[in-house]
Each structure stands twice: as C-alpha cells, then as structure tokens.
Amino acid sequence: MADINLLRKIGRSELVPENNVVFFQGDVGTSIYFVLKGTFGVYINNFSGFPTRVAEIKQGSVFGEVAAIDEGLRSATVVSEEDGAVLIIEKENFGELLVYAPDICEKIIATLRRRIESTSDILRQAGKNVPMRSSYTQIKQLKNAENNINLMKLMTQDLRKLNDRLTALNDSAGQSPLPKIMSNEAIKLLPDEYTSLKLYDDFKDNSRMLFRQDYCCPYCTDDLQTFIPLISVLKPESAALDGRTLYKGFDILRYTNIICPHCNYADSYQEFGRSGPKRIQGEHKGSEGSPFSNIESFTGYADAYYHTIDETVMSYYLNIHCLNLTAADPLRLANAWIRLYWIFGDCKKSELAKQAAGNARRYYDQYLAENGKIMFIEDKMRLQAILGELNAALGEYDKARAFYEQNIEIGKGMKTDLIREYKDRHKELKRR
C-alpha cells in the first residue's frame, strides 16, 4: 500500500467524528477518500427512500473513487461509525497518484473495469442503451416569469382559506388547536377529507437519533440548519414487503422532509440542497417571487426538533407540491405518497390511505415501465413486491398476485428468505 507520508503531499487529512456523514448518495463526487483510521458504514437508499446498510469500509481502504473520476453522482451514503480520520485527495490532484500511489490507481482501474463489465451485462439483458439518469430537481427551470406569476396567483387564492380550515380541524373531543406553525395561513394542500390526526412518539428523548446539518436551499440559496436522522445509530426493528422499515424507538417519517424557512421549498433530507445552485456571494436572490413562499410569513420549521403528525403530513404534501412544480420525478413522488399511505394507515384513516396508495402505485408503475428492463434483479423484485402490496391495499388482488408471481418466476433457483416470503405472501393473496 502507498506510503501515507507521500499521500499527504497531494491530499489533506481530516478528522471525522463518530456518526458523521462523509457524503450522501446522490452528491456530486469530486474527491476520493483514503481511510487512515476508523470504520465507515456504507448505506444505499431502498425504494422507500430510506437508507440500508450494505457494507463497511475499514482502515487502509479507499472509497469514493469512481464518482470522483468523472464527477458523477455518489452511489451510496458513507457514515463514520466511530471516531476516525481520512485523507482526502481532490480530482485535480489525481494525476499525482500515478507518481505517489500507483497501487491505488490500479485498484481504481480494477473497480472501473468491474463497473464497465456490469453495465455491459445490463445492456445485453435490456437490449437497448441505458437511458441517461434523470437529473435531480432542476429548480432553475422555474425562472420562466409567466409561470411564476401564474403559480403565485394560484397559491395566494388559498392562503387565507387554509387558516380557517386548519384551526377548525379540532375534533369533538376538544383536541388542542393545531400548532401556530400549521395554522398561520399555510399553503392549502391538504385534501378536503383531512382531519387532525392523533399519533405521538413513544419515547421521551430523540436528540440522540438526530444531528444538526447545514444546508443551502436549492431554490432561494439561503443557508439553514436542520435536524436529520442519524442513520448510523438507527436500529431496524422490522421490515415489510411494502418497503417500510420500522426503527427501534424512532419514527423516521417525522424527520424525512426539510422545509426552507425562507421560501418554503420542501424536499426529502436526502435530496435537499443537491439540485440547486451553489451559494455565490453577492448573488443571493432571496425568496421574493418564489412559488413556494407564503407572503403571510409561514416560516417553515427547518430548525425544529420535533414535528406533530399534522406538521409531518403537511410537509409531505408540500414536498409533493414542490416536486410537481419542478422535476416531477416518478420515484421521488412515489416515495412521498407511500409515506403518506403509511401514516394514514397508522392513524386508521382508510380513505386517505387508499388515496395515497393509489398515487404511490401510479408513480411506481411509471418508474417500473421506464426502468424495468435495466434494473438489477433484486431491485426489480423489491419494487414489484411494493406494487403487489399497494394493489392489495386497494383491493385489486389479481394484480397483487401477478406481481408476486413475477417475483417467484424471476427468483427460480434462489434460496433466500425473501423468496420464501414472496411465496408465502402469494399463498395468502390466493385466498382473497
């Protein structure tokens, strides 16, 4: 392995505290990391948009090399699982690796070769070129002045109406009024059938499950801080075929979305801040004219530790609204809708749950139609299981069984617990 002292000439060392996110899946890669000390967990997002631990990186290993070479998107999130240290080498210094660390270059080349071979296999199976990966939300497209004016007209029509609706959501049992943050002329996005929900966390202190993260809003480019889930300390308790993972003592659904307090742009914490322009001194344009902003001073809650369930629901509808105004990415829309489906199911709101399930199914169907032929087998099977469960929730059992039959056919010869679950679930659905 390369001499560390030589590598220090072309890179910089950095201490990484325990539970620190080095980079998120989807970030643009411009550097590689050489582990000097500690262990790092590797997480990838499943189809429900939440991270799953898939590997670990130990002292002496290199990570982040593939995305850094072509400045592509990071394929995973990397989190420190103990106090550690890394040596960071920026893209512009890669050429010097040939001089100081030819063995690392050989490893990178070998990794690229495996990636190319894997991609070639996918191309042969698909029978066509892999389409370009859809870009993340292109906020810049909203610069069309006429569209912005129309959007503001549409949204301001409902600003005052929602204040009355939200404050009237208290049930006959005399539930306390909704928090001011939800009742202060927030944007009207909730369905007419919505009534205030009752769902509370069953633990006293969630601060150890969260950490404060700095962001730059991709729309108004203002800076903000928010609390997001500390994924390295979350303990999965159970997982369902519809993609939902429950964590011990922590309701991750409460902390999925970020709402910018300056312009009210909302997105998942795993997407927020990646797609927009980097902040440039002197070019900050503020929130004036933002189609997401509320002129009656709804301030969002990026800095809040705890959200009520009503605030959480509002954040998902606002997230969906923002996605529809920008990229309308089917997978991200599906993930937002399925989370609403889980929340409404927990709260025994069957009609709202069905509405959310129907929307989630529509967007997952769209994503599968566009990408099914080029997906890895395991990913396709997971997505089809989710679609099976959504169809079952909607009472369309024939369609639900068909998705599980496809999974069983694809998984012939595989002897895994997941295939057994698919077979058991198929038998259950046959009795419907």
Same domain, 308 and 429: no
The Cα–Cα gap between 192 and 166 comes to 11
- Residue 278: inside a domain, yes or no? yes
- Residue 244: inside a domain, yes or no? yes
- Cβ contacts of 154 within 8 Å, gap of 6 or more: none
What pLDDT digit, counting tens, does each position of 50-72 carry? 778 888 899 888 888 776 666 67
Count of positions (residues) in the chain: 432
- Residue 133: inside a domain, yes or no? no
pLDDT(9) > 90: no
Same domain, 67 and 170: no
Same domain, 373 and 319: no
The Cα–Cα gap between 7 and 27 comes to 25
Same domain, 145 and 274: yes
What pLDDT digit, counting tens, does each position of 34-43 carry? 899 999 999 8
Same domain, 358 and 245: no
Q: How confident is the model at residue 196 (pLDDT cuts 50, 70, 90)?
A: confident
- Residue 426: inside a domain, yes or no? yes
Chain position carrying tokens 């993930």:
335
The residues that bridge with 73 in the sheet, in sequence order, are 28
pLDDT(44) > 70: yes
Q: How confident is the model at residue 3 (pLDDT cuts 50, 70, 90)?
A: low
Helix (H) / strand (E) containing 178? none
Same domain, 101 and 168: no
Domain boundary (328, 355, 376) is at 328
Q: What is the mean pLDDT of residues 151-169?
A: 41
Q: What's the structural domain count of the chain?
A: 3
pLDDT(276) > 70: no
The Cα–Cα gap between 430 and 432 comes to 5
The CATH number of whichever domain residue 45 belongs to comes to 2.60.120.10
Q: Which of 103-107, 160-164, 205-209, 219-223 has the lowest mean pLDDT?
A: 160-164
Q: What is the mean pLDDT of residues 359-364?
A: 97
**Which three-class secondary structure state does DSSP give residue 108?**
helix
Please tell me which of 187-191, 214-218, 426-430 the model is most confident about, judged by mean pLDDT. 426-430
pLDDT of residue 295: 41
Same domain, 51 and 28: yes
DSSP type of residue 172: T
Q: How confident is the model at residue 112 (pLDDT cuts 50, 70, 90)?
A: low
Same domain, 336 and 324: no
- Cβ contacts of 425 within 8 Å, gap of 6 or more: 241, 385, 388, 404
Determine contact, residues 394/353, Cβ cutoff 8 Å.
Answer: no
pLDDT of residue 186: 53
Q: Report the percent of the chain where pLDDT is more than 90.
A: 24
The CATH number of whichever domain residue 339 belongs to comes to 1.25.40.10
Phi-psi region of 413 (alpha: psi -120 to 50; beta: other; left: phi over 0): left
pLDDT of residue 63: 87
The Cα–Cα gap between 360 and 389 comes to 11
Same domain, 168 and 242: yes
pLDDT of residue 171: 38
pLDDT of residue 47: 62
Q: How confident is the model at residue 407 (pLDDT cuts 50, 70, 90)?
A: very high
- Residue 132: inside a domain, yes or no? no
Alpha-carbon radius of gyration of the chain: 23
**Which three-class secondary structure state does DSSP give residue 214?**
strand
Please tell me which of 47-51, 182-186, 381-385 the model is most confident about, judged by mean pLDDT. 381-385
What pLDDT digit, counting tens, does each position of 68-84 carry? 666 677 888 899 999 99
- Residue 91: inside a domain, yes or no? yes
Phi, psi for residue 245 in degrees, rounded to 5: -115, 130
In this structure, which amino acid lies at residue 415?
Answer: K
- Residue 131: inside a domain, yes or no? no
Average pLDDT score, the chain: 75
Same domain, 96 and 176: no
Same domain, 105 and 45: yes
Pick 167 or 93 by higher pLDDT.
93
Q: What is the mean pLDDT of residues 164-182?
A: 39
The Cα–Cα gap between 337 and 419 comes to 26
Domain boundary (293, 328, 363) is at 328
- Residue 339: inside a domain, yes or no? yes
Question: Domain of 283?
Answer: 139-328
pLDDT of residue 179: 37
Determine contact, residues 51/44, Cβ cutoff 8 Å.
Answer: yes
Quickly list DSSP for 373-417: GGS-HHHHHHHHHHHHHHHHHTT-HHHHHHHHHHHHHHTTT---H
Show the tokens assigned to 181. 């943050």
Same domain, 250 and 341: no
